[in-house]
Structure formats: structure tokens, C-alpha cells
Amino acid sequence: MLTSKQRSNLRGMAANIQPIGQVGKNGVSENMVKSFSDALEARELIKLSVLETSEKSARETGEELAAALGAEFVAATGRKIVLYRRSSRETGHLEF
């Protein structure tokens, strides 16, 4: 579980990254979860876009994805969501 200070630091780090994927009207699929899991393993912090056609809000989608990925839901700002999961690699972890 992230503290509010850690969450704030991660939001700041995410401000400068581009979304790596998007969730549309069909919601979260198994392939999407696999793809985002791979991205989290490589980057630890990812930003995603939730399209306006999505049936769920960005927050609902972010919380659903975080649960499916074993990740932390960091923030939902507008239609963007930020997720964090510490990599299993030995080195190269984000410092926040």
C-alpha cells in the first residue's frame, strides 16, 4: 500500500510520461492485462488513457486494472490513469 507522499511523488513522475495504451468501450480484456503486466514489469510506472466510449469511469477502470495486475492504483486525472507495480528485477527500481 502506498502512502499519500509516495502516491504524490508517483503522480509527479507520471506527469512527464505518455500513455502506453488505451481502454475502450469493451473494457479490460485478458490480452490487455497481459500487455500492461509486461509494461509494468519493464517500467514500473505506466499511464493509460480511458476512451470516452468506455462504460466505466477512469477511476473504476484503474481500480479494476490494478486488481487484475496486482498493481497499485496511483491516480485518475481526467481520462488518464496511472498504475505502479514494483518490478521483480533486482536492479533499476524507481526511487520515490
Give the chain's domains with CATH numbers.
Answer: 4-84 (3.30.110.60)
Specify the pLDDT at position 91: 67
Cell numbers standing for residue 5: 507522499
Q: What is the mean pLDDT of residues 64-71?
A: 96
Are 76 and 58 in contact, with CB atoms under 8 Å apart? yes
The yes-or-no verdict on residue 1 having pLDDT over 90 is no
pTM, to two decimals: 0.91
**What's the mean pLDDT in 75-90?**
92
